[in-house]
């Protein structure tokens, strides 16, 4: 019996187009409420870890369970209904006309969008906006190109209706280190207040140490460290010298 409140990777292996293993033998169990960081120099490995959980890819080995549901083609829609899968793409954030809060290529004010929601959704979204620190009722920041405010708005919107699990991709690729730290502080508040399991991927071990409850460090397709941040300290210096965790996109 698999716990409905966790995400589990059990011996998962995913190959790339060149048939090499992107990840292999990956096993981990994420509890609620917990903020987990997946750190790797290899962007493909970071992506494969989350793709295997969302059903974007199906591994050649092992199995992933999300909320007690096995991830497979027949359950893909069910699994995705349990997840908020957030892509912080800086190219999207930099162009308001392509931001998800638009219609027919014309930008609408973010707070106008909130006010137009059905009452139950509006109340939930306002609660999420307070969690992430966007509760002024002003479009300033969200509409003026402030990447952090846009990322927070995207997070708040993804949380309505409330998912059981939140996945955020490549935080420090989409945002500067300072902005990523602010965003992760907001994500941590959401995890605590809403009691969800959240996973973010990044390149920076230091950023993960500062904000995550749990670290999953991948190297050469396998899990190098899986545990609380203190457990990664013994590997910190060697990881930084042998793998450019903060320098590969």
Q: Assign 3-class secondary structure to 76-102.
A: HHHHHHCEEEEECCHHHHCCHHHCCCE
CATH superfamily assigned to domain 7-95+163-242:
P-loop containing nucleotide triphosphate hydrolases (3.40.50.300)
Among the ranges given (187-196, 214-223, 237-246), the one the predictor scored with the smallest mean pLDDT:
237-246
Domain layout of the chain by residue ranges: 7-95+163-242
- Confidence at residue 122, expressed as pLDDT on a 0 to 100 scale: 80
Separation of alpha carbons 16 and 157, rounded Å: 32
Q: Mind spelling out the 3-state secondary structure of the chain? A: CCCCCCEEEEEEEEECCCCCEEEEEEEEEECCCEEEEEECCCHHHHHHHHHHHHCCCCCCEEEEEECCEECCHHHHHHHHHCEEEEECCHHHHCCHHHCCCEECCEECCHHHHHHCCCHHHHHHHHHHHHHHCCCCCCCCCCCCCCHHHHHHHHHHHHCCCCCCEEEEECHHHHCCHHHHHHHHHHHHHHHHHHCCEEEEEECCHHHHHHHCCEEEEEECCEEEEEECHHHHHHHHHHHHHHCCCCCCC
Per-residue model confidence as pLDDT tens digits over 224-245: 999 888 644 444 433 333 333 3
Percentage of the chain beyond pLDDT 90 is 53
CB atoms near residue 156 (< 10 Å): 25
Per-residue model confidence as pLDDT tens digits over 68-96: 999 999 999 999 999 999 998 655 444 44
- Confidence at residue 136, expressed as pLDDT on a 0 to 100 scale: 55
Reported as a pLDDT band with limits 50, 70 and 90, residue 126 is confident
Per-residue model confidence as pLDDT tens digits over 22-42: 999 999 988 888 999 999 999
Give the residue, 88 or 215, on which the prediction is more confident. Answer: 215
Reported as a pLDDT band with limits 50, 70 and 90, residue 118 is confident
- Confidence at residue 134, expressed as pLDDT on a 0 to 100 scale: 83
């Amino acid at each position: 019996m698999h716990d409905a409140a966790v995400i589990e990777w059990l011996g998962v292996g995913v190959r790339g187009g060149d048939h090499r293993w992107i990840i292999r033998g990956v096993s981990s169990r994420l509890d609620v409420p917990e903020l987990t960081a997946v750190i790797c120099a290899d962007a493909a490995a970071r992506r494969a870890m989350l793709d295997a959980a969302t059903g974007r890819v199906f591994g050649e080995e092992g199995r992933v369970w999300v909320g007690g549901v096995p991830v497979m083609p027949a359950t893909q829609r069910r699994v995705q209904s349990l997840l908020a899968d957030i892509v912080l793409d800086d190219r999207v954030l930099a162009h308001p006309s392509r931001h998800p809060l638009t219609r027919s290529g014309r930008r609408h004010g973010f707070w106008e969008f909130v006010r137009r929601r059905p009452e139950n959704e509006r109340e939930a979204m306002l609660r999420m906006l307070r969690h992430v620190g966007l509760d002024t009722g002003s479009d300033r920041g969200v509409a003026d190109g402030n990447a952090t405010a846009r990322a927070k708005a995207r997070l708040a919107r993804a949380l309505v209706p409330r998912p059981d699990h939140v996945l955020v991709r490549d935080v420090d690729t989409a945002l500067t280190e300072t902005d990523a730290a602010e965003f992760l502080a907001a994500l941590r508040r959401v995890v605590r207040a809403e009691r969800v399991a959240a996973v973010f991927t990044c390149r920076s071990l230091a950023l993960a140490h500062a904000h995550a409850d749990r670290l999953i460090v991948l190297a050469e397709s396998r899990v190098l460290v899986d545990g609380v941040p203190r457990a990664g300290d013994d590997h910190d210096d060697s990881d930084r010298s042998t793998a450019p965790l903060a320098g590969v996109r």
